[in-house]
Amino acid sequence: MSRFAAPIAEQIWDMKYRLKAADGAALDAGVEDTWARIAKALAEVEKEPEAWEGRFYAALEDFRFLPAGRIVAGAGTGRTVTLFNCFVMGTIPDTMAGIFDALKEAALTMQQGGGIGYDFSTIRPKGAPVAGVAADASGPLSFMDVWDAMCRTIMSAGSRRGAMMATMRCDHPDIEAFIAAKADPARLRMFNMSVLATDPFMEAVKADAAWDLTFGGTVFRTVRARDLWDRIMASTYDYAEPGVIFIDRINAKNNLWYAEEIAATNPCGEQPLPPYGACLLGSVNLARLVTDPFGEDAALDEDALDELVRVAVRMMDNVVDASRFPLPQQAEEARAKRRIGLGVTGLADALMMVGERYGSEEAAALTGRWMKRVAEAAYLASCDLAEEKGAFPLFDKDKFLASGSVAGLSDDVKTAIAEKGIRNALLTSIAPTGTISLYAGNVSSGIEPVFAHGYTRKVLQKDGTRTEEEVVDYAVSLWREKKGEDAPFPDWFVTAQDLAPLDHVRMQAAAQEWVDSSISKTINVPADIGFEAFKDVYLEAYETGCKGCTTYRPNEVTGSVLSVHDTTSLTGPDTPANDAPAEARPRRDVSGDVVYMSEPLDRPAALEGQTYKLKWPMSEHALYITLNDVIVNGQRRPFEIFINSKNMEHYAWIVALTRMISAVFRRGGDVSFVVEELKAVFDPRGGAWMGGKYIPSILAAIGGVIETHLVAIGFLAGEGLGLKSDPQAEALAVGERPGTSCSSCGSYDVRMIEGCVTCGNCGYSKCG
């Protein structure tokens, strides 16, 4: 009898977590072997391993406790890998040597598969004098481009997808350039970006006061705080970035307020970390702890929750000792503080099972109750560990008890801390858990709502054919099993698209009260939300105690994970909400109807066109690019492209490229996505600087030429305003709503998680 609740769960396990030999032969015969491997590896650091191995296995069994994917894949394999998911790197010095030393550390960390976070606020702003070299500084954004190229190179060498978080303080003189960086779709694609919003800044926004942009004690200029806030909001409204981190609240609530200063987070935002801090994650599966689901006595088994949390804390504490680290500074930091991030997954499913509507006041109250139970069980378990094994080295009883997070705990927990100490400086965090949740039977991810009740997935068979299978949410599957396949859903069976934005905020705030680190949560907002209502989401998050806020508004720029254009009626300018300011409105404007031809156009005898010369710095010979146009419905549009060069090294791919692009042009429709696809191509050997801008490859340069032509003929309103994906790439979620297919595996479980479009099927993720 398979332990897996759904075929997709077994496929995820086999693809990502099952131990295999170098030749692909399976070493974990079944998932039971995977659990046994993890349990044995984490018990080995105990004085009596045999006494704990069985308890660790029992916690893992039936997907009740879900360590983060890096632990599941790496523990007990004997491989030189880190079991920590992400890191915040050291503070970047404001010197050229220091900056590139930091770049080297980042490359070494990413090579082992760790995601990284950086605060770029420490680099002097663009135009500031550089002593001793008679030059002006190029600013932090220019060095972020270097990090971005490094991440692409590491990824191209066969490592896992690079993931980076960049933060910048709201008072840095280059903050406006940082906010606007993602308006260029080819720039900083490897980064998630967040603004560090301080309490004084938020108060200045509310008071409509002036705000100084400073560096090194020097005021570079003064702006209106509300104008700067609107710039942040407008960029997020259009491009889903930057996110906002309420950094003063993070530091005020930090249990280690007396020993560290936090200025950055891991790539998904749930772990604010100090320099060289590491992110160790695991989740309790609430969906597996509900007794009598959908029955009259449906309830979460809170005693079982307590016991599971206690074992999970011990297992995660052992990971600190069992793991390897890319850098010695990271190992030292982890062992000095022993911070862990125990969270939950399956919250939305558990709420459905007990009859509560996600986002309601009742569901938020119940979420708070469950999260308090998790937090206090974790703290008490850590106190017992401290009594047995010793407190974390930097523990200071009086200062620790005075921290913001500890203040709200029950008196018995505070007494235990005072009498026994505590093993782990911080204990709770809520991660996205996308792939891990699929592995556990497609339970709802983290504290997110159910994404969809069900969808279809195309599966590639060994004979090359594709079959379709239905992937159903865990709670929905259980409902069908108990009530019948055709039983109607009750009104509390909501999905992410059914919720008002403030419902999301309510749930995040309810959980945050009992989480000493932070929460990875994306607030989905409708495409037509008004700009003022959109801003209210962020202010509500701040006022209700959240430590950060990330939203996703599907639109022409960001793309939509929930819907696609009707290819028979796609027309010109979008109509923005009336209260959206000009800078917040969709920036692409196509005059006239966009026509999709059922058959490619025949080539007229004569065409108008333009030839452009492209001199790639890395090549001896120039490229000559000719673009010819046709007139359709009174609008000039591209019809074909020719590229010529004396360099025969490029001949084959040039011919292939011209034929493919010309074929796309001739089918009609909005073909501007070709520009964005080309501009996103990077060369692992390195790009080149052209016209003051870093171009990642010769193909990206060709994309830039095509874009210039499309702007010149009026097909595009301006640079960077093309579609980000092919609008004719249709996909439909079964019985629900349209969706976007994954470019890696073709499945339709594509969702937005912390600014990254992420596939729940194969784990592929594209940030930025």
Could you read off the pLDDT of 239-280 as tens digits, one per residue?
A: 889 999 999 999 999 999 999 999 999 989 899 999 999 989
pLDDT at 712 over 90: no
Judged by average pLDDT, the poorest of 313-317, 523-527, 562-566, 615-619 is 562-566
Higher-confidence position of 686 and 188: 188
Overall number of domains in the chain: 2
Amino acid letter for position 30: G
* Calpha distance 479→672 (Å, rounded): 45
Please give the Cα distance from 466 to 214 (Å, whole number).
Answer: 58
Average confidence (pLDDT) over 165-189: 92
pLDDT at 546: 96
Q: For the chain, what is the total number of helices (H) and then of strands (E)?
A: 24, 30
Residue 543 clears pLDDT 50, i.e. is over it: yes
Q: Which stretches of 321-395 are assigned E, i.e. beta strand?
A: 341-345
Question: What's the confidence (pLDDT) of residue 175?
Answer: 98
**Where a domain ends, among 212, 232, 264?**
264
Poorest-pLDDT segment among 87-91, 317-321, 450-454, 597-601: 597-601
Tell me the chain's radius of gyration from C-alpha atoms.
Answer: 27
pLDDT number for residue 653: 82
Rounded distance, CA 757 to CA 161, Å?
Answer: 13
Other C-beta atoms lying within 10 Å of the C-beta of residue 620: 10
Range of the domain at 194: 112-264
Q: What is the pLDDT of residue 351?
A: 98
∠ CA 497-502-506, nearest 5°, is 110
Round to whole Å and give the CA distance between 97 and 151.
19
Quick one: pLDDT at residue 184? Answer: 82
Q: Indicate whether 547 belongs to any domain.
A: no
Report which of residues 195 and 620 the model is more confident about.
195
Asked whether residue 414 is assigned to any structural domain, the reply reads no
What is the structure's pLDDT at 727?
52
Q: Is the pLDDT of residue 606 over 90?
A: no
Residue located via tokens 């009707």: 566
Average pLDDT over residues 352-372: 97
Query: What is the percent of the chain with per-residue pLDDT over 70, rounded to a whole number?
Result: 84
Which range is most confident: 394-403, 523-532, 693-702, 738-747? 394-403
Nearest to 693 by CA among 719, 670, 726, 672: 719
Task: Identify the residue whose tokens are 């595009």.
Answer: 716
pLDDT at res. 158: 47
The answer to whether 703 touches 710, Cβ cutoff 8 Å, is no
Span 644-658, mean pLDDT?
Answer: 80
Confidence of residue 57 (pLDDT cuts 50, 70, 90): very high
Residues 96, 161, 670, 752, Cα dihedral to 10°: -110
Closest CA to 34 of 18, 10, 52, 58: 18
**In the predicted model, what is the mean pLDDT of residues 666-673?**
77
CB 245 within 8 A of CB 197: yes
Residue 507 confidence (pLDDT) above 70: yes
Q: Is residue 467 part of a domain?
A: no
pLDDT in tens, 314-329: 999 999 999 999 899 9
Query: Which residues are tagged catalytic?
Result: 266, 268, 270
pLDDT mean over 370-399: 98
**Which whole number is the average pLDDT over 201-213?**
97
> pLDDT at residue 186 above 90?
no
Task: Indicate if the alpha-carbon torsion angle 57, 59, 62, 67 is positive or negative.
Answer: negative
CA separation for the pair 451, 495 (Å, rounded): 5
Residue 5 CA: distances (Å) to CA of 11, 442, 448, 477? 11, 8, 20, 9
pTM higher than 0.85:
no
What would the two tokens of residue 374 be? 């998790």
Boundary of a domain, candidates 235, 264, 293: 264
224/118 Cα distance (integer angstroms): 27
Residue 656 CB partners (closer than 8 Å, separation 6+): none
Over residues 389-400, mean pLDDT: 97
Q: Is residue 685 part of a domain?
A: yes
Q: Is 80 exceeded by the pLDDT of residue 123?
A: yes
* Residue 208, amino acid: D
Residue 755 forms part of a structural domain: no
Q: How confident is the model at residue 56 (pLDDT cuts 50, 70, 90)?
A: very high
Average per-residue pLDDT for the chain: 85
Tell me, what's the pLDDT at 345? 97
Of 643, 56, 667, the closest CA to residue 315 belongs to 56
Highest mean pLDDT among 110-124, 446-460, 552-566, 716-730: 110-124
Per-residue confidence (pLDDT) for residue 714, from 0 to 100: 84
The predicted pLDDT at position 344 comes to 97
d(CA 529, CA 553): 8
What pLDDT is recorded for position 663? 84
The predicted structure's pLDDT at residue 571: 26
Q: 337 near 256, Cβ under 8 Å?
A: yes
Domain assignment present for residue 542? The answer is no
Task: Check if the beta carbon of residue 17 is closer than 8 Å to that of residue 73.
Answer: yes
Strands 278-279 and 243-246 turn out to be unpaired
How many CB atoms are closer than 10 A to CB 315?
26
SS3 per residue for 686-702:
CCEEECCEEECCHHHHH
Higher-pLDDT residue of 193, 687: 193
| Mean pLDDT, range 522-549, rounded to an integer | 94
Residue 322 located in a structural domain: no
Provide the percentage of residues in the chain whose pLDDT is more than 90: 58
Contact in structure between 682 and 697 (CB atoms under 8 Å)? yes
Query: Which comes out higher in pLDDT, residue 171 or 725?
Result: 171
Average pLDDT over residues 62-88: 91
Q: Which of 630, 653, 426 is closest to 517 using CA atoms?
A: 426
* Domain edge (last residue) among 264, 282, 317: 264
pLDDT at 133 over 80: no
Cross-strand pairs, 555: 559
- Which residues share a beta bridge with 16? none
Q: How far apart are CA 182 and CA 187, in angstroms?
A: 6
Between 162-171, 413-422, 582-591, 712-721, the lowest mean confidence (pLDDT) is in 582-591
Strands 164-169 and 115-119: parallel
Mean pLDDT of the region 528-532: 93
Q: What is the pLDDT of residues 548-581, one digit of tens each?
A: 999 988 865 555 443 322 222 222 223 223 333 3
- Sheet with 765-767, strands from edge to edge, namely 750-753, 756-759, 765-767
Stretch 281-307: mean pLDDT: 97
Q: What is the pLDDT of residues 94-110, one digit of tens each?
A: 999 999 999 999 998 88
Distances (CA, A) of 490 to 238, 286, 352, 480, 496: 35, 20, 9, 12, 16
pLDDT at 17 over 70: yes
Tell whether 79 is covered by a domain: no
Q: List 753's β-bridge partners, or say none.
A: 756
Residue 513 has pLDDT above 60, yes or no: yes
pLDDT confidence of 531, banded at 50, 70, 90?
very high
Rounded average pLDDT over 12-16: 89
